[in-house]
A and B are shown apart, each in its own frame.
Chain A
């Protein structure tokens, strides 16, 4: 997030697009409700009638994958009405003329034809967003998990800069991170192209710095992303995979494909706190300690580095993940001998400038928000305050593109995936929790009553869902939450795995798969 969670409640307008905030980030949704109580306007754009939609000043259910058209259309209306922040654009940004030229062509009619949003609704959304500032934009995987994920994110940035909402308190472009330490895993260099703090591996000075710090000549070629690893396993280039706290059998698109890929490996090493669909295929499984059994830090979605502490001893012979990695590394001939997590943290901060001023002592109970470059620095509640990190904020002129797969005669429905309020990610942890299991015991598909009628399906009937990748049976949940022609499946449940259906096509830059749109068929299960 460019801004902080607490700031949301002082926004004059909140634009929620592609985040089902009350179910997936309930304590951020609470700030949205508080902002509403203080008089903020709320815009919700989501293909489903999510809970926040009930509180919205305007809610649109745009066609899956039409986000760029929707955002360009809003910008078209904003510029046409002269609502854009002209002095901010002049002083702090570049590329406005190119943007203007492209969004000029996104007339409300054209946008309606692509996204299904009525012209009046588009104009109302644009007016609310542009004339109530500061406006905070919140998004999640509904924006990113598309073949045009990068375009969608850039379009969110475009509209935020167009209205002068970046670099101001209670504004910003705010991706809500789905897993507890996505932010930290990225910050720490758990990515094939960068060292910690996004220092590219291909830059010679970085390579030298880390080679020296770690006492080993390091590789300078960009490695495989998770999306590249799957074909590399299938064509025999990748022989061994070490999976830490992950369940790709459930979380990756096109399950049949990933299953074949994992089976081709010579060595699959898994490290987890539970048996999962992936550990069952492993050659070796390391038993890891849980969050209550170890010390360390997480970095939340607002860049706040916070500490977890040891409450109890690990179960059985389980060890903290850092101890397991250290042992394996030492056995491989690269010695790692850390006394505790703090020693690792201190080594990390010495090579990670944005965390440079942090110590366990300074983190205390509330943590610190990066950038926090030195021991006097109080941390940074919102980014790009005086100027953008790159200097001037860059507008990107972006044309709308269709999703990789659109419905056709054979697969006439749009299918999208997501989460349920009681469960987390692949369900490994929440399904082992009695109270959460009681809330939602298995998967389902949301189906509009009109479609249910046509198919003669009643609420709770088993249906057969199929796509070009695979098929599965699941109970129908008949609900007007989705529009006719749209299906929604949560991905937590191994017995009806959404990802047997999803399309592995991915964004060419971010390599993120298109979980949020594919073409599907639904019929009453025989």
Chain B
């Protein structure tokens, strides 16, 4: 039996409580509070204690999907990315970069937000980037 605990941060509010993910034989089975963390000092709320449950939910999306004949259907990354890039490029060519908007996210990492705004500004060429801070 292989048991690992992985330090992480709860993603259910802005407190940023330290958690430990419990992994048995490659499966995520629990969330524990980090005893030494400065924010939560070994405590968690009900959402934090159950943080792993959404990760292992069978409702998770497992593959990219493209709309074909009016329905979203699973596809490969290559097809999903290329089709999207082609459509985006066509829209930019016809209507200009300001016809595209990007919503970055208060739920993904700093690195991902940094890339999302870099993508919007450098790859698309617009400052139409915002996120859900106001909502």
Contacts and interface: CB of A to CB of B under 8 A. Distances in A.
A246 B14 contact: no
A162 B128 CA distance: 38
Contacts of A192: 127-130
Nearest to A241: B101
Nearest to B21: A311
B12 A180 contact: yes
B127 to A, nearest CB: 3
A239 B80 contact: no
Interface string B99-128: 111111111111111111111111111111
Nearest to A510: B134
A202 to B, nearest CB: 9
A348 B114 contact: yes
A313 B55 CA distance: 11
A255 to B, nearest CB: 12
A432 B16 contact: no
Contact of B18 (A179, A290, A326, A365): A365
A357 B15 CA distance: 23
A143 interface: no
A305 B110 contact: yes
A294 interface: yes
Contact of A201 (B18, B54, B83, B127): B127
A433 B134 CA distance: 25
Interface in A185-234: 185-193, 195-196, 201, 210, 214-216, 218-219, 221-227, 229, 232
A301 B132 contact: no
A321 B63 contact: no
Given A244-B116, A275-B61, A422-B47, A286 B15 contact: no
Contacts of B133: 179, 182, 185-186
A434 B53 contact: yes
Contacts of B14: 25, 176-180, 182-183, 300-301
A166 interface: no
Interface string A302-336: 10111111111101111111101111110111101
A218 B16 contact: no
B109 A283 contact: no
Nearest to A224: B128
B129 to A, nearest CB: 6
B115 to A, nearest CB: 5
Given A27-B15, A182-B106, A434-B53, A298 B60 contact: no
A493 B8 CA distance: 28
Interface residues of B, number: 100
Contact of B104 (A5, A185, A252): A185
A246 B131 contact: yes
Contact of B106 (A179, A237, A324): A179
B99 to A, nearest CB: 4
A252 B43 CA distance: 32
B46 interface: yes
A113 interface: no
Nearest to B59: A432
A269 to B, nearest CB: 6
A33 B28 CA distance: 33
Given A244-B116, A292-B52, A225 B130 contact: yes
Given A178-B14, A190-B129, A341-B111, A282 B84 contact: no
A434 B25 CA distance: 22
A284 B80 contact: yes
A307 B9 contact: yes
Given A181-B106, A292-B55, A435-B53, A218 B122 contact: yes
A245 B108 CA distance: 7
A316 B62 contact: yes
Contact of A424 (B13, B40, B102): B13
Contacts of B28: 292, 311-312
B64 A317 contact: yes
A152 interface: no
Contacts of A348: 110-111, 114
Given A184-B109, A227-B134, A284-B80, A238 B62 contact: no
Interface in B83-104: 83-85, 87-89, 91, 95, 97-104
- Chain A to chain B: the 5 pairs with minimum beta-carbon distance, closest first: A316-B62, A300-B16, A296-B109, A177-B14, A223-B127
Given A192-B129, A366-B37, 16 more contacts: A180-B14, A185-B105, A214-B118, A218-B122, A240-B101, A241-B101, A274-B59, A279-B72, A282-B67, A286-B80, A312-B27, A322-B109, A327-B81, A344-B111, A424-B13, A435-B49
